[in-house]
Amino acid sequence: MILNRRSFLGTATAASAALSAPMALGQAKPRVVVIGGGSGGGTVARYIAKDSNGAVDVTLIEPSRKYYTCYFSNLYLGGFWEFDALGHDYGNIARLGVNVIHDWAVGVDRDAQTVALASGEQVSYDRLVVAPGIDFVEGSVPGWDVSQQSLMPHAYKSGTQAQLLKHQIENMREGGTFCMVAPPNPYRCPPGPGERVSMVAHVLSEINPTAKILIVDPKENYSKQALFEEGWERHYPGMVTRIGPDFGGENVEVRPDAMEVIIDGVVEAVDVCNVIPAQKAGKIAELAGLTNDSGWAPVLPADMRSRMDENVFVLGDASAQGAMPKSGYSANSQAKVVANVIRGELTGSRIFPARYSNTCWSLIATNDGVKVGANYEAGEDQIESVSSFISQTGEDAELRQQTYEESIGWYNGIVADIFG
Amino acid sequence: MFEKLKPLILVGALLAPTTVLGQATPIGDASAGAQVYQRECASCHQIGDGAEHRIGPHLNRIFDRRAGSHDDFRYSEALVRQGRDGLFWDLARLHAYIENPRALVSGTRMSYRGLRDEERRANLIAYMRAYSDQPQNIPEASPTAIAREVELSAETLAIEGDVEYGEFLSAECTTCHQRSGEHSGIPGIVGWPEEDFVVAMHAYKQKLRPHEVMQSVTQRLDDEEIAALAAFFRELGRE
Ligand SMILES: Cc1cc2nc3c(=O)[nH]c(=O)nc-3n(C[C@H](O)[C@H](O)[C@H](O)COP(=O)(O)OP(=O)(O)OC[C@H]3O[C@@H](n4cnc5c(N)ncnc54)[C@H](O)[C@@H]3O)c2cc1C
């Protein structure tokens, strides 16, 4: 018998009898479909395939042949990392037995338990993992929409946007202004905008030292703020100005054709403008009916299972899980919990209680790295933060250099963990 | 809990018999805390959207704030002094201050007798927590809940590690440490003698070894878990 949602809903006794026996016994292989081959989806596909030794049929749906990480894309902007080194292909994930389909998922029929692909094909599943990352909230920065992304790049999803932004920064007129429109909470990578400003400042101080950086920020405060501000004052004095909500940072509009930013009614001419709009779960999560009014997909804290459907898990940035920041590290950590649960449900292997953690490193200047991290546990309603740490202001140069080297180690570690 | 399929949560529980739900203990019951706030604090302090200083300063973003640090509020010299000395409002300090303000700051102008009832105080603090920075936005923000206790025992080194559990736990390590054992900015840990592994992990856990990420990771590993990890990484080294 293939278990689907209808039989699931049949009678409680039938369902529990079926469920107490692992699905793999006496039937075709159970099928897991993963939508999105990023930090979360790549990890979950790999871990289920690796740990189940072929007992589970895993399909990964991802349009790109190569995944370019957002992590270290700021270091690429700063000239500390090569663009090619951000790219990872799916060869090793496929070699573990994952069926990798390079296509877009365009819909999910949760009653029939199938995913529709842009090619017109349907893929059916026993368990579905949805890990599409983020999309932008339309109209969140008046004057900007994705059709303007070549004039005012976001560089907040993986790929060519980072190259475009780098090109614009390097070709900015002497003494020009780089403007960043920072996003409201919650958004992917809380220290990401601060790290980006640091890397842009690094490049400009080398090639265009009279240039200015203007941050327009709707938030009162942001992650690692004291560390970034200390670093900017030390390494790039006078270059960075931040306009927070008190001075109109909440009320911003852009005119991409004129390269203007209107802050609380005052027109500023800028030379490069990096617009990072408000964010929500990747579109497919919404199409699948997995999101709520917040735009994110609510999940149960113990295992990232969708609150809308017990056969579906939502991972990484797209999920509304509670206290974990939207980061590659978090997505990878959540994916391992989900892989363990799905494998257990489908093959009868042991299921262990969730363990979640996160650390985010940022580079401020050459050899000046800082980090922030925390442990998380499932609470009753959401994932909770139970302890945290952060680098201190005033740390000595050797420690900062060691922290930077550690971040390189982390990058190599996580991409090996997902794609290696 | 499931918005659409409420009854099936039981089935979910059957599916995952060993999954422990709700490990972290909440600070308190924030909705009960709203009432405590109304009775005990609201006549002097505002909190929430548009809150302003009144008789006392507003309480938005009180967690992680240095004592006496609003520029536009006139505090007692005693409170400002404590702030200069390094008093930040965290869970423990807020508990102590609300229980008896003078225990923490002699000479505070907060003429409040204190709230002795621990449960009501915890609920109140949970309510106030909601108006401070959230860790999903600012990961370094104060924790939102209390971690479960992890016990140390004398027979630690003798525990025989559960390799399968170790494999699950090891996934937390391999975000940074490579399975291949390779070093690059982060040391390799594959194939270590089990005893060295266990000793090192306990040294991080007791904060004898300094690294914050490792201290944080080991903080919530109990003896069996450390033994399981040691056993798994030993096995991985043999492969
Ligand atoms: C500048 C910057 C710096 C960052 N630095 C760090 C850092 O230092 N550390 C850190 O931990 N995190 C960092 N992050 C955050 C990190 O990149 C994200 O949190 C992480 O990638 C989220 O993983 P995910 O799997 O949820 O989404 P993603 O990694 O974005 O993966 C989603 C995948 O789904 C695919 N997809 C989307 N829709 C569909 C569909 N309909 N069908 C099929 N596939 C689909 C996409 O092509 C994509 O490959 C940074 C982010 C930015 C922008």
Distances (CA, A) of A415 to A99, A333, A353: 19, 13, 25
* B174 lies in some domain: yes
Distance A190 CA to ligand 1 centre (A): 13
Distance A90 CA to ligand 1 centre (A): 15
| Strand pairing class (A99-101; A87-89) | unpaired
**Cα angle B136, A310, A358; round to 5:** 25
DSSP state, residue A179: E
Do residues B122 and B160 both lie within one domain?
Answer: no
- Examine the predicted complex and report whether its ipTM is higher than 0.90: no
Ligand 1 pocket at CB < 6 A: A 35-41, 61-64, 67, 70-71, 73-74, 104-105, 131-133, 156, 188-189, 192, 196, 282, 284, 316-318, 326-329, 331, 360-361
Do residues B133 and B36 both lie within one domain?
Answer: yes
What's the CA gap between A316 and A321, in Å, rounded?
9
* B221 lies in some domain: yes
Its domain, for residue B61, covers 30-137
Query: Do A340 and A351 contact (CB within 8 A), yes or no?
Result: yes
Token couple for A106: 């365009």
What's the CA gap between B154 and B223, in Å, rounded?
10
What's the CA gap between B86 and B72, in Å, rounded?
20
* B201 lies in some domain: yes
Structure-derived torsion over alpha carbons of residues A384, A387, A393, A397, reported in degrees to the nearest 10: -120
| Residue where a domain stops, chosen among B137, B172, B190 | B137
Token couple for B43: 């006549």
Report the chain B residue with the minimal C-alpha distance to residue A406. Answer: B185
* B17 lies in some domain: no
* B19 lies in some domain: no
Range 304-343 of A in CB contact (< 8 A) with B: 305, 307-310, 322-326, 329, 332-333, 336, 340-341
What's the CA gap between B187 and B178, in Å, rounded?
9
Range 218-247 of A in CB contact (< 8 A) with B: 219-224
With a cut of 70, which residues of chain B have pLDDT below it? 1-22, 148-157
Report the chain A residue with the minimal C-alpha distance to residue B186. Answer: A409
* B213 lies in some domain: yes
- Beta bridge pairs of residue A319: A297
Q: CA end-to-end span of chain A, whole Å? A: 36
Q: Considering only CA atoms, which of A277, A268, A398, A316 is closest in space to residue A69?
A: A316
What's the CA gap between B90 and A227, in Å, rounded?
20
Instruction: Choose the mutation target among B176, B183, B224 for the interface with A, i.e. most A CBs under 10 Å.
Output: B176
Do residues B196 and B118 both lie within one domain?
Answer: no
From chain B, the residues in CB contact with A409 under 8 A are 176, 183-186
Do residues B194 and B130 both lie within one domain?
Answer: no
Q: Does A370 touch chain B (CB under 8 A)?
A: no
Distance A191 CA to ligand 1 centre (A): 15
**Cα angle A359, A360, A364; round to 5:** 145
Distances (CA, A) of A255 to A142, A152, A173, A177, B66: 9, 9, 19, 15, 40
User: Whose Cα sits closest to atom 7 in ligand 1?
Assistant: A71
| Residue where a domain stops, chosen among B80, B111, B137 | B137
User: How many interchain CB pairs under 8 A, A with B?
Assistant: 239
User: Whose Cα sits closest to atom 51 in ligand 1?
Assistant: A70
Q: Provide the shortest C-alpha distance from residue A321 to chain B (in Å).
A: 9
What's the CA gap between B147 and A233, in Å, rounded?
37
What's the CA gap between B215 and A346, in Å, rounded?
35
Per DSSP (E only), the strands in A282-367 are: 297-298, 312-314, 319-320, 356-365
Distance A5 CA to ligand 1 centre (A): 30
Q: For residue A319, which atom of ligand 1 is closest to its CA?
A: 26
Cis peptide before B135 (omega within 30 of 0): no
Do residues B213 and B117 both lie within one domain?
Answer: no
Sign of the Cα torsion B186, B191, B196, B199 reads positive
Do residues B63 and B95 both lie within one domain?
Answer: yes
Query: Do A178 and A169 contact (CB within 8 A), yes or no?
Result: yes
CB atoms within 10 A of CB A127: 25
Query: Do B193 and B234 contact (CB within 8 A), yes or no?
Result: yes
Do residues B39 and B120 both lie within one domain?
Answer: yes
What is the model's pLDDT at position B37?
97
DSSP tally for chain A: helices H, then strands E: 11, 24
Burial of A253 (0-12, 13-18, 19+ CB in 10 A): middle
Q: Kindly give the confidence (pLDDT) of every residue in chain A, 420 residues in length, as a single tens digit, with 9 standing for 90 and above.
A: 333 333 333 333 333 333 444 554 456 899 999 999 999 999 999 999 999 999 999 999 999 999 999 999 999 999 999 999 999 999 999 999 999 999 999 999 999 999 999 999 999 999 999 999 999 999 999 999 999 999 999 999 988 999 999 999 999 999 999 999 999 999 999 999 999 999 999 999 999 999 999 999 999 999 999 999 999 999 999 999 999 999 999 999 999 999 999 999 999 999 999 999 999 999 999 999 999 999 999 999 999 999 999 999 999 999 999 999 999 999 999 999 999 999 999 999 999 999 999 999 999 999 999 999 999 999 989 999 999 999 999 999 999 999 999 999 999 999 999 999
- A175 SS3 class: coil
How far is it between the farthest Cα atoms of chain B? 68
* B161 lies in some domain: yes
**Cα angle B77, B79, B83; round to 5:** 115
Query: Do B66 and B79 contact (CB within 8 A), yes or no?
Result: no
What's the CA gap between A373 and A357, in Å, rounded?
8
| Residue where a domain stops, chosen among B102, B137, B172 | B137
Query: Do A7 and A1 contact (CB within 8 A), yes or no?
Result: yes
The verdict on a CB contact (< 8 Å) between A386 and B185 is no
Q: Does B146 touch chain A (CB under 8 A)?
A: yes
Do residues B129 and B43 both lie within one domain?
Answer: yes
Distance A157 CA to ligand 1 centre (A): 7
* B72 lies in some domain: yes
Token couple for A97: 């037995």
Distances (CA, A) of A356 to A22, A325, B217: 26, 11, 10
Distance A156 CA to ligand 1 centre (A): 9
Q: For residue A330, which atom of ligand 1 is closest to its CA?
A: 11
Do residues B160 and B71 both lie within one domain?
Answer: no
Token couple for A332: 């990878």
* Amino acid type, A382: Q
Instruction: Choose the mutation target among A228, A307, A377 for the interface with B, i.e. most B CBs under 10 Å.
Output: A377
Q: Provide the shortest C-alpha distance from residue A40 to chain B (in Å).
A: 12
In this prediction the pTM is 0.88
User: Domain holding B48: CATH number?
Assistant: 1.10.760.10
Residues whose CB falls within 8 Å of the CB of residue B77, separated by 6 or more in sequence, listed in order? B107
- A74 SS3 class: helix
What's the CA gap between A250 and A259, in Å, rounded?
19
The verdict on a CB contact (< 8 Å) between A417 and B172 is no
Q: Which helix (H) or strand (E) holds B168?
A: helix B163-173
Do residues B44 and B109 both lie within one domain?
Answer: yes
Sign of the Cα torsion A304, A309, A311, A313 reads negative
Q: Does A55 touch chain B (CB under 8 A)?
A: no
Do residues B41 and B122 both lie within one domain?
Answer: yes
Task: Count up the domains in chain B and report the number.
Answer: 2
* Amino acid type, B145: A
The verdict on a CB contact (< 8 Å) between B19 and A220 is no
What is the model's pLDDT at position B166?
92
Do residues B40 and B100 both lie within one domain?
Answer: yes
What is the model's pLDDT at position A18?
39
What's the CA gap between A169 and B26, in Å, rounded?
46
Half-sphere exposure of B93 toward its Cβ, with a 13 Å CA cutoff? 17
